[in-house]
Amino acid sequence: MKIRTATPDDGAAVAAIYRPVVQHTTISFETEPPDAAEMRSRIEKTLAALPWLVAEDAAGTVCGYAYASKHRERAAYQWSVDTTVYVREDMRGRGVGRALYGKLLPLLAELGYCQAFAGVALPNAGSVGLHEAVGFQPIGVYRSVGFKHGAWRDVGWWQKALGEPGEPAPPKLFMG
């Protein structure tokens, strides 16, 4: 497996991984799957400041992706990020998510981020297991926060310290 920085050309592969998650599960709260052009745009916007990584399987096909986004808009939150990981259905449970986080989390620390957060739509034992395996700790649950597939859904939140709190310099931009 190879982990690399995503490019806008990965938009179609990323959209293909994400589409069934949006359509058939409550893991994502999006209700309409974004197409390749939208995913291309999201990758471009993210890479302007933060990392977006993809994993390739032995055949060189994208089999998973991970990225960071701002945790909140206010300046005091600038050292915190939200993280997201999705893995192609046939590759789940094979270490793809762990490998992606193995690159993403140290990279975020190098950029100067201090805290990473992950929201997990519940129930989702696979995602909970992944996050806890890489050091995230549960911090709370937003109850009945999203309505999808005919029911109200909870979102659990996990947090991982990336660096020691102190008097930080502003985080650096990701330069791929």
pLDDT tens, residue by residue, 76-118: 999 999 999 999 999 999 999 999 999 999 999 999 999 999 9
At 50, the amino acid letter reads: L
pLDDT tens, residue by residue, 107-121: 999 999 999 999 999
Q: Are 98 and 133 in contact (CB under 8 A)?
A: yes
Q: How confident is the model at residue 163 (pLDDT cuts 50, 70, 90)?
A: confident
Tokens representing 24 are 């058939």
Give dist(CA 103, CA 53) in Å, integer: 8
User: What residue spans define the domains of the chain?
Assistant: 2-161
What is the CATH topology of the domain spanning 2-161?
Aminopeptidase (3.40.630)
**pLDDT of the residue at 110:** 95
Give dist(CA 154, CA 35) in Å, integer: 26
